[in-house]
Amino acid sequence: MKILVTGGAGFIGSAVVRHIMSCTDHSVVNVDKLTYAGNLESLAGISQGQRYQFEQVDICDRPALDRIFAQQRPDAIMHLAAESHVDRSIDGPAAFIETNIVGTYTLLESARQYWLGLDEERRERFRFHHVSTDEVYGDLDGPNALFVEDTAYAPSSPYSASKASSDHLVRAWGRTYGLPTLLTNCSNNYGPYHFPEKLIPLVILNALEGKPLPIYGKGDQVRDWLYVEDHARALLTVLEKGRVGETYNIGGHNEKQNLDVVQYICDLLDQRRPQRPGGLASYRELIQFVADRPGHDRRYAIDAGKIQRDLGWLPEESFESGIAKTVDWYLENTQWCHNVQNGSYQRQRLGVGGREAT
């Protein structure tokens, strides 16, 4: 297949692109606006391959999308382009409305026009896979409840509300127009190439520099943690084997309180980098509790039984194995981290084979 991946320079998107390029014979057209979270250095190992092409395009730009569909003629779409940071959505929700809602609508309409022009065989094979989040469900009551595919939506933040809106659009385009859609909702991802504003990379990099490790409230919020490379495998599995019109929840089977996650990372760093800054006895000494985020959900947890039963997918990494790999990756890839922290990655806007939107 030729797969058009939106947001392929982001954290999850780049993992998907790397997985497709290294584990399949499919080709990829990566469409990414390259906002602050888009980093072409995360694709340095595959950007010169003949099966890979890059287009610096905003998914809100309909003429540019129409051109890409006409020129590239993809067999499937994996839609991962999104604004995704909850704190940023609270401070400035407009970008989330524009990208996550208007952008998804624009992509759906461009894809629908393209799909209608395909011959019958290609139209039957075509797929539009929309990648979403478990945050659309709100939070859970009690310690044993789990999100399932038909859990009612109850988003708490501007980010999750915008993703819920995009989910509804995708389902509506499937039902009203017959566009062959697939939808997935995932739990919290972590792993290599994660932008340092998110909890796990922020903790790792702050600890190494002797900076405070901020934890909202008491740190008792519970999340199900999913290693990003397991997620990438799951997404391709859904694209290749999923039933049109279905939703699949993807989780890591690893529920942890935020405080436990931070403490575990500190303990790993104590083992791997015992020469601590400032004469610290343990990196745990850097933990600081800060005022909680407005509307902070208490607990997310996914029942991923459907994707296991129907498609045979299971995560390969436990939290312990995945977080160890993640910490080691950040310790071994200091140049990538340094380029993100000083902003120099944003000056490398185009890779080999890429083109900038006009």
The mean-pLDDT minimum among 60-69, 104-113, 338-347 falls in 338-347
Torsion of CA 109, 114, 117, 120, to 10 degrees: -100
- The pLDDT tens digits of the residues spanning 240-250 come to 999 999 999 99
Number of domains in the chain: 1
Instruction: Please give the average per-residue pLDDT across 203-212, as a whole number.
Output: 96
Q: Mean pLDDT score of the chain, rounded to an integer?
A: 93
351 pLDDT more than 60? no
Phi, psi of 211 (to 5 degrees): -90, 160
Distance CA 245, CA 234 (A): 17
Domain extent at residue 89: 2-356
354 pLDDT more than 70? no
Q: Please tell me whether residue 296 adopts helix, strand or coil conformation.
A: coil
Distance CA 258, CA 242 (A): 32
Residues recognised as catalytic: 134-135, 159
User: Is 200:264 a contact under the CB 8 Å cutoff?
Assistant: no
CA 60 to chain centre: 19
Could you give the residue ranges of the DSSP H alpha helices within the chain?
11-23, 62-72, 86-91, 94-96, 104-116, 120-125, 158-177, 199-208, 228-241, 258-272, 305-311, 319-332, 334-342
Distance CA 259, CA 218 (A): 8
- The pLDDT tens digits of the residues spanning 254-279 come to 999 999 999 999 999 999 999 999 99
Instruction: Please give the average per-residue pLDDT across 75-82, as a whole number.
Output: 98
pLDDT of amino acid 296:
83
- The pLDDT tens digits of the residues spanning 98-156 come to 999 999 999 999 999 999 999 999 999 999 999 999 999 998 887 789 999 999 999 99
CA 261 to chain centre: 19
- The pLDDT tens digits of the residues spanning 32-59 come to 999 988 999 999 988 777 899 999 999 9
Question: If pLDDT is split at 50, 70 and 90, which confidence band does 357 have?
Answer: very low
Q: How many CB atoms lie within 10 A of CB 316?
A: 11
158 pLDDT more than 90? yes
**CA 194 to each of CA 41, 64, 229, 309: distance values in angstroms, whole numbers, following the listed order:** 12, 28, 12, 30
Question: If pLDDT is split at 50, 70 and 90, which confidence band does 225 have?
Answer: very high
CATH of the domain at 9: 3.40.50.720
9 pLDDT more than 50? yes
pLDDT of amino acid 349:
59
331 pLDDT more than 90? yes
- Global confidence as pTM: 0.93
First to last CA, the chain: 27
pLDDT of amino acid 353:
41
72's tokens: 């590239």
The mean-pLDDT minimum among 101-110, 195-204, 346-355 falls in 346-355
Torsion of CA 236, 237, 240, 244, to 10 degrees: -110
pLDDT of amino acid 272:
97
pLDDT of amino acid 141:
80
**CA 245 to each of CA 183, 187, 304: distance values in angstroms, whole numbers, following the listed order:** 8, 21, 17
Compare 139 and 165 and report the one with higher pLDDT.
165
Q: What angle do CA 107, 37, 299 make, to 5 degrees?
A: 90
pLDDT of amino acid 358:
26
Across 176-209, b (16+ Cβ under 10 Å) vs e yields eeebbbbbbbbbbbbbbbbbeebbbbbbbbbbbe
